[in-house]
Copies of this chain bind each other. A is one copy, B any other.
Amino acid sequence: MPTTRTVEKWAAQVRAGNIRAISRAVSAIENRSPEAESLLRELFPYTGRACRVGVTGAPGTGKSTLVDKLAACYRLQNKSVGIIAIDPSSPFSGGAILGDRIRMQGHASDEGIFIRSMATRGYLGGLAQATGDTALLLDAAGKDMILIETVGVGQGEVEIVRLADCTVVVLVPGLGDDVQSLKAGLMEIADIFVINKAEREGAEKLEEQTRAVLQLVPERDGWRCPVVRTVATESRGIDELASQIERFRQHLCEAKDRSAKALAYWKDWLLRLLERRAVERVLAKGMSEAEFDLIVEQVAARKKDPYSAVSEILGRSGS
């Protein structure tokens, strides 16, 4: 455990935007080290200023390039940017994401942009937690805009998207399964749709389809989800996207039930954190993942009932 003094110093470095200090903190969060928690406790009072934008879409929609160009657009506006790229299908930070990141090396010498890929660790769905923690960290580090880039699939993804203030769903024409992005509950959580690679054939048809589907979904709090066409590789439509994000942010600020929403947000966050911590404590004391999987097999085969199984796990941990 680091001393209070060390953590205070570290927190001060993070707040000053020191990239090494921030990187070390993200690693600590990913590894769930206890020092990450000490640091975040120190930093929490300085959060709440940044705008978190979730950018999600199927693989191949050009999310990374879009995020890259959006970041460049914010830099021109003199806003500092943090980027968190998530690939839940990857067992480690790397692969395609790493390839994408190479394109971002153009920003490498710009201290105003911090870029980090994250990947899932363990089986307890800690990715949303780690992402939320990293967003808080970058918020405290003074980033104005935090872009969270994620592949739009599955329940865990939806949980990550819920961390964002504004969610952008990216579609592309001509990709066989581009409209996959419309599934997985993303329709419900999209605040802005982007049709990227809009120079391609079928862009118009996809826009029509998207608008048709949007008409089936009722307005949320008086916000009618816009559809923005972009060609990210040529930086086309990026300014329009940035201004729609700003418009949505204004819309949020003017919402009447803003404080009720904040309470619901934090209640949800606390319950999830409590669930994770409680289960972590139990499993850390009690069993390995292999042992847990063995119990799952016994339950599926009706050789053990789930209630006894859970009592046994809780009992082992002495809870």
Contact = CB atoms under 8 A, between A and B. Distances in A.
A267 B177 CA distance: 29
A13 B230 CA distance: 65
A239 interface: no
A246 interface: no
Given A213-B213, A296-B266, A299-B266, A44 B305 contact: yes
A35 to B, nearest CB: 12
A269 interface: yes
A270 B307 CA distance: 8
A238 interface: no
Interface in A216-241: 216-218
Interface in A234-283: 259, 262-263, 265-267, 269-271, 273-279, 281-282
Contact of A217 (B183, B188, B306): B183
Interface in A116-147: 124
B305 A45 contact: yes
Contacts of A306: 44, 266, 269-270, 273
A277 B282 CA distance: 11
A224 to B, nearest CB: 15
A311 B44 CA distance: 15
- Contact count band on A: 35 or more
A180 interface: yes
B296 A263 contact: yes
A21 interface: no
A305 to B, nearest CB: 3
Nearest to A42: B305
Nearest to A43: B305
A274 B282 contact: yes
Contacts of A263: 296-297, 300
A83 interface: no
A277 B216 contact: no
Contacts of A183: 185, 187-188, 217-218
7 contacts: A41-B305, A45-B302, A180-B217, A180-B218, A182-B187, A259-B300, A269-B299
Given A177-B218, A270-B296, 12 more contacts: A41-B307, A182-B187, A182-B217, A184-B185, A213-B216, A262-B300, A270-B310, A274-B314, A278-B282, A278-B319, A281-B314, A319-B319
